[in-house]
Amino acid sequence: MVRQAGKQNCGRIVLVSFLSLLATGLVFDFLWASSHRFSSIGMSLPSSVTTVVGKLPPNSNDTKKKKDNGKERKLSATFQDLDAPELQWEKMAPAPVPRLDGAAIQIRNFLYVFAGYGNINLVHSHVDIYNFLDNTWGGRLDMPKEMAHSHLGMVTDGRYIYIVTGQYGPQCRGPTAKTFVLDTDTNTWSDFVPLPVPRYAPATQLWRGRLHVMGGSKENRHTPGLEHWSIAVKDGKALEKEWRSEIPIPRGGPHRACVVVDDRLFVLGGQEGDFMAKPASPIFKCSRRMEVVFSDVYMLDEEMKWKVMPSMPKPDSHIEFAWKVVNNSIVIVGGTTEKHPETKKMVLVGEIFQFNLNTMKWYVIGKLPYRVKTTLVGYWDGQLYFTSGQRDKGPDDPAPRKVMADMWRTKLILYP
């Protein structure tokens, strides 16, 4: 049961838009899912993969910059890639639709893949179901009209899927507090007690008979929330009338993995900040805000105090449904890491990480077919599967581009 237990909220958007970063005087233009041009004021940037940088951030002081020019180094766009074993990947049947910032839950041999953006102006309002037994996409369920379309908090007890809050609508609209339950035996939906306030991409888990929801961003999508609530649940129903406040999370923000293993609750990676709606935009057009991605891992046990665990091999966000627990290890597929220090472009992750809970050690266990964020991950019969997400522009450019429907699998090899 623990093993099946959900996956968390989801990924993010990379979109479009137009960011004006007044503090540094840079202006970027982001085009949704297509190559984006970078323009800058006061900096000259070589065209492609590598940029020449000194040791200091663009703002820094001239005297120092001159000194450093003597030992200029090339900082590749791909500098955050880690060495990782090559894996044999097998391409499976693609999902019926491409999906970014969707959500996924595995129950036995089925992977339920929820919602997500098809593109920045279009969100899905249905569930597609993959069957690991015959490797086909079969069932499809429409979601309730009031349910959020991306950045959901989600978890299962093995039959009931709890779908908590999330972003309602395309572009950078805000979240709804509405919360639902899907009974996967009968494929019926029911309403659930709304979260006290709407949250965008909160960490969500079932733990000790309670549904826990924490962190995420506040209504503006950007401001990290630290609040943590829980409510007693059984068989898809709340046993209490209201959510109760729990110990706040040490760091707020969206897009982290939240996993229960062996009666301990882990929160891994994530970020503070995210794209926001452009002020006064009638379509809530997405506008970049600088995010800070982290490698932090925190754990709650029966003491109900957060404990700091070994950090991830690098900062990693957009991983709320990008994980599985296999043999007492948490396996995490792709994500986003810290933005490029010079270009400020988002940098995707192309590795698989293993957090071995026997040894409390992290390993980099393989390379993905491409760098990708907001993957939706399953595990069946020794094979690790992932689908959906937004992939990189190519081997030399880790910035996000195409929203994917592809499904892949590889034999999972873990460090014991």
Ligand X SMILES: *[C@@H]1O[C@H](CO)[C@@H](O)[C@H](O)[C@H]1NC(C)=O
Would you give the distance in Å from CA 311 to the centre of its chain? 17
Closest CB to ligand X among residues 66, 73 = 66
Q: Say whether residue 64 binds ligand X (CB under 6 A).
A: yes
Closest CB to ligand X among residues 63, 186 = 63
Closest CB to ligand X among residues 336, 375 = 375
Least separation in angstroms between residue 329's CB and ligand X is 8
Q: Which of residues 291-350 bind ligand X (CB under 6 A)?
A: 326-327
Least separation in angstroms between residue 63's CB and ligand X is 5
Closest CB to ligand X among residues 58, 118 = 58
Least separation in angstroms between residue 370's CB and ligand X is 23
**Which one of 60-68, 122-130, 311-319, 343-351 is the stretch in contact with ligand X (CB under 6 A)?**
60-68
Residues 6+ apart with CB under 8 A from 263: 207, 208, 301, 302
Please name the amino acid found at residue 232. A
Do residues 349 and 371 lie in contact, with contact meaning Cβ atoms separated by under 8 Å?
yes
Max CA-CA distance within the chain?
69
Residues 6+ apart with CB under 8 A from 333: 319, 322, 323, 352, 368, 372, 375, 377, 384, 386
Cα-based distances in Å from 391 to 95, 368, 400: 15, 10, 6
Do residues 366 and 84 lie in contact, with contact meaning Cβ atoms separated by under 8 Å?
yes
Q: Using CB under 6 A, which of 300, 309, 349, 412 touches ligand X?
A: 412
Q: Using CB under 6 A, which of 44, 47, 63, 88 touches ligand X?
A: 63
Answer left, alpha or beta for residue 258, where phi above 0 means left and psi between -120 and 50 means alpha: beta
Q: Say whether residue 61 binds ligand X (CB under 6 A).
A: yes
Q: Say whether residue 414 binds ligand X (CB under 6 A).
A: yes
Q: Say whether residue 261 binds ligand X (CB under 6 A).
A: no
Closest CB to ligand X among residues 150, 354 = 354
Residues that bind ligand X (CB under 6 A): 61, 63-64, 326-327, 412, 414
